[in-house]
Chain A
Amino acid sequence: GAVVSQHPSWVICKSGTSVKIECRSLDFQATTMFWYRQFPKQSLMLMATSNEGSKATYEQGVEKDKFLINHASLTLSTLTVTSAHPEDSSFYICSAPDRGTNTEAFFGQGTRLTVV
Chain B
Amino acid sequence: EDQVTQSPEALRLQEGESSSLNCSYTVSGLRGLFWYRQDPGKGPEFLFTLYSAGEEKEKERLKATLTKKESFLHITAPKPEDSATYLCAVFTGTASKLTFGTGTRLQVTL
Which A positions have Cβ atoms within 8 angstroms of B? 4, 6, 9, 34, 41-46, 49, 91, 93-95, 101, 103-110, 112
Contacts and interface: CB of A to CB of B under 8 A. Distances in A.
Interface string B19-45: 000000000000010101000011111
Contacts of B36: 107
A44 B44 contact: yes
B43 A103 contact: no
B87 A110 contact: no
A41 B34 CA distance: 19
Contacts, number: 51
Interface in B33-90: 34, 36, 41-46, 49, 87, 89
A109 B97 contact: no
A106 B47 CA distance: 11
A107 B100 CA distance: 14
Nearest to B4: A43
Nearest to B96: A49
A95 B102 contact: no
B102 A104 contact: no
